[in-house]
Amino acid sequence: PSTEPGADRRILLVEDHPDLRADLTRLLHEQGWHVEAVADAESALKRVAVRTPHLVLRDIMLPGRDGIDFLR
C-alpha cells in the first residue's frame, strides 16, 4: 500500500484557469484525492491514454476542444 495521500483515488482535473486549477487541486488533495491537473482537453486525453483516473472533473469551456467534445 502506498503512503501517498489519495494514491488509490485518482482524479484528473481539466481546468484552463491557473488560479482555479491550483485551488481545486489543493482542495481535492485535502479530501484525499491524488490529483493530476491539466489545462486543456488534448493534455487530458493524453493522460487518460496512459492511466485511467477514477474521476474526471472538467471545465465545459476549454481552449481548443470544449468539455462536451472531450467526453465524446
Per-residue pLDDT tens over the stretch 9-30:
899 999 989 999 999 999 999 9
Q: Is the CB of residue 38 less than 8 Å from the CB of residue 14?
A: yes
pLDDT band at 36 (very low <50, low <70, confident <90, very high): very high
C-alpha 8 chain-centroid distance:
15
Residues 6+ apart with CB under 8 A from 67: 14, 41, 58, 59, 60, 61
Burial class for 1, CB neighbours closer than 10 Å (0-12, 13-18, 19+): exposed
Parse the chain into domains and list their residue ranges. Answer: 10-61
Q: For domain 10-61, is the CATH number 3.30.1650.10?
A: no
CA angle at 6 for the pair 24 and 54, rounded to the nearest 5°: 80
